[in-house]
Structure 1
Amino acid sequence: MRTWRRRRHTVRVRLTVLYGGMFLLSAAGLLVITNAIGLSGTRTSESAPAAVPPAGPAMPAATAHRIAALQAQLSDAQAAQSRQLLIASAVALAVMGLVAIVQGRVVAGRVLRPLRTITAATRRITADNLNERLAVPGPDDEVKDLADTIDGLLERLEDSFSAQRRFVADASHELRTPLATMRASLDVALAKPGPVPAQTSALAGRLRTELDQIDRLLEGLLSLARAQHASPAGRAPLALGDLAAEALDARAAAIAAKGLTVDSAGLTGGGAWTRGDGTLLARMVGNVIDNAVVHNDGGGWIRLAATSDGATAELVVETGGRVLDQEQVDRLAMPFQRLAADRTGSADGSGLGLSIVAAVATAHGGALRLRARPEGGLTVAIALPTAGAGVPA
């Protein structure tokens, strides 16, 4: 926002300087011509004493001297008048320069007003209201041409987003149906009377495992698509601390199986209230907890904290482990990015967990920060805007 305002004011200053500079140059040229004409007339008058006839019988010396004195006085008066004209011209030029700058700023503001209107309207349009248009009225000039071009771009974007949403909905149905059919076929094959060969049972087990992995991958892709196009409508105040506590309770068996030590003292009292879609935020927090459990060492530890500073609600999840490379950690928020082969080979992950977390946080006006701990392990921090007034402390 600050960058946009600085650029807008820079353009206005440039137009003001251009308008004021052109006016000053024109006024200065006009004053130079006027003063040049006045000075030429003064020089012509100063040459008059040379034409005074010498004193003689026809003109007494006193009269000639008087005439010369009058002409000298006239020359001095004309010189003083020229100086006054120059001073008055300089003062008038300064005053008109200030007037020109003020007028230039006003004119520049009026010229840029349609552009500011277009910019403000464009900033209000997001992926959730692409049906809105600028519809700038006025003559068919360059500004209206720009607005019509942006409206055309918005129409193409709306068609593209609509096609993407339709594809996600169709893929959800079309891909789950054959998976369910394949799983049912396996169950039927194993349920036939008679002994089932060991190889068939082993193959069916591997196929079920792969089908479960495909289900998780499909669910992750659909969750990522929904998070990237989350609607702000229907959002309610929620406590990140409560969501984290519920996620820990739901994963108590997995935590106990790995012998992990959980420090959840930072979640006491709920805290860290934000406003958002309950389903997406629960999925976001659950993915962070899953990441901390699945990619943790046996007998390791997890530390959680939910805090708020009045403007930002933050959930921080820390885990121990080996020292990680920060450059690789920065890529974990991208789809299908993992740290090493042990993470790639994990049967419990699809490589979309932190991508979904980042998408949900972004859709709610927040951000995901990943930091490799110097002593080993990972810190995952989710910062979201607070819910505002009227929310329990």
Structure 2
Amino acid sequence: MSIKWRLATIVGAIATLLVVLGALVAQWRITTAIDQTAKDALRNTAKRVASDLSSPQSELPVARLARQVAASQEIQVTTRSGDLLYTTRAAGARLLMPTTTLQDVRSTLFLPAQPTTHGRIVLAMRAASHSNTVILVATSDDELGHALSELWIVVALAGTLAVVLSVGGAWLLARASLRPVANICAEAESLSLGTLAKRLAVPRTHDEIANLAEVINRFVDRLESMIESQNWFLHALSHELRTPLATVSAELQLAERRSSDPAALSEALGAAQLAAEQLATLYTDLLLFARYRAGSLTLELHEVDLEDLAASALVAAKDRCQDDALSFLLDCPAALSAVVDPTRLRQILDNLLENSIRYASVGIVTLSVRQEGDWIAITVKDQGEGLPENVFNRLARGESGESTDAGGMGFGLAIVKLLVELHHGVIEATNPAEGGACIGVRLPRVQEV
């Protein structure tokens, strides 16, 4: 069952319940009002008859008695033992109340009017305080029955109409309310991998429907970003792995041709191993970029001893460096700590030092770590050939580039930039006047979790 019909059914059930409850309340009010009116009329008649009976006359003529009552009322005057003294023609000769009940009439107080099996409402009253005479006044309850019959006829007609109108109105209202949902479904159905640039039209109603459209649009944004990241990763992977794979293939072919020369074979295998390591590094870097673009790259923050971390990074850089003309210097005070991701900060230091190893063949590479207020300043300075412009932007925006072979910059500094930004820091590269390159990184000393 559709939402429209479910809502219409619920509204119809509620409307039916309200109509029935309203009818029951109306019945109670009408019954109470008619009953009270009838009892008041009976009391007034009984009082007039009691007043006449208290007159000096020894007996009350039937004709005079009949004038005391309305056409719908019946009067009998009887003793407490049930001897009928007077009666109107409408009342007849049969007592309006059982004799056992007459015995309870002990004062001039009224007995509650009682409905009888003959469809009457009967009231009994002592003619005087110590009198043996009882006045019985009765009226038919046909008026009440007619009123209730008319009430239920009105309920049956008007209630049915009200329920039908409620169901129809609920169905129309639900259809109008769900029309934007149908439009959203149609637009969402039209989306495909080739049309993810489209977005759903958001209604200007500022309600749940508009919120649904906004949620779907945000989901499409994330989906588009993930697909773009995947496409970028595949494109970049195919381009960046081209040169290392060609190198591995060429060196292995060379090793095969020089298999009889141990020295040449060792050199070829060493070059192939180096190219394989470059392949692993490129693959790791590309995965890191892909995770960053997909929004799944997060930090695991811990308090880190910066001196130990910088010293271990510098030792690893010395081990990787094969040029004895290049020396390394650490400038970091003891007991300096910060709340950072130690793995990502070590990756920043390794990439900065690797850049200096690759492009500074002689001189000193200085790694400096200092505290400046609420910031940690990291500087790597070398005496190499300097840095080109926009060195951090390579592939940071998803450009595959065609410069792997030209300059061989790789992804190191681009990765440094995104990791620094992930730490809410800033990075700057300069070429000092005295030569070389200087890359400065500033990170907040305490990261926001």
Q: TM-score range by the shorter chain?
A: 0.3 to 0.5
Larger relative contact order (C-alpha < 8 A, sep ≥ 6)?
1
**Higher helix residue share:** 1
The structure that has the greater radius of gyration is 2
**Higher strand residue share:** 2
- Normalising by structure 1, we get a TM-score of 0.46
